[in-house]
Amino acid sequence: MEISARVSNTAGGHAADVATAGSRQSVAVAAKAQGRGSAINGGEFLMLALATCYCNDLYREAARLGIAIDGCEVVATARFEGVGLAAEDVRYAVRVDSIAPTADIERLVSETDRVAEVHNTLRGGCAVTRVQWPLS
């Protein structure tokens, strides 16, 4: 399955969309008020990707394990010390709303941590390569 994201920015407009296995959808991302580019920066999107990945995977794993959950909240943070420097001290925390026993929730949280794809991509240190336009 291929996942892609696209941002198009000109003086006349700003658009962002994502696609999974060819199914494309628009994402509401405002342009910067004081100039060109996105109002949300890449580091913010990276933390949103971590939180979103874990949230979605939590529900998937809960269904797989047969654990009923009513809701969750995931917060991800990182420090960026300067331009061009990689994130440091990436952390996340999760709160799960459920009447399931604490041991079941801990198992769910641990299993989700083990299989969360974005988390594992960062942990594994994936290569990022610039290629010729257009991306194929």
Percentage of the chain beyond pLDDT 70 is 99
Percentage of the chain beyond pLDDT 90 is 87
Say whether both 78 and 119 belong to one domain: yes
pLDDT reported for residue 11 = 84
On whether residue 23 sits in a domain, the answer given is: yes
On whether residue 133 sits in a domain, the answer given is: no
On whether residue 121 sits in a domain, the answer given is: yes
One-character DSSP codes across 56-109: HHHHHHHHHHT---SEEEEEEEEE--STTPPPEEEEEEEEEE-SS-HHHHHHHH
pLDDT in tens, 107-120: 999 999 999 999 99
- Please check the confidence at residue 130 and state whether its pLDDT lies above 80: yes
pLDDT reported for residue 120 = 96
Say whether both 3 and 25 belong to one domain: yes
pLDDT in tens, 2-55: 999 999 998 888 999 999 998 999 999 999 987 689 999 999 999 999 999 999
pLDDT in tens, 81-106: 999 999 999 999 999 999 999 999 99
One-character DSSP codes across 73-84: EEEEEEE--STT
Q: Which domain holds residue 5?
A: 1-32
Say whether both 28 and 44 belong to one domain: no
Say whether both 71 and 52 belong to one domain: yes
Reduce the DSSP state of residue 22 to 3 states and report it: coil
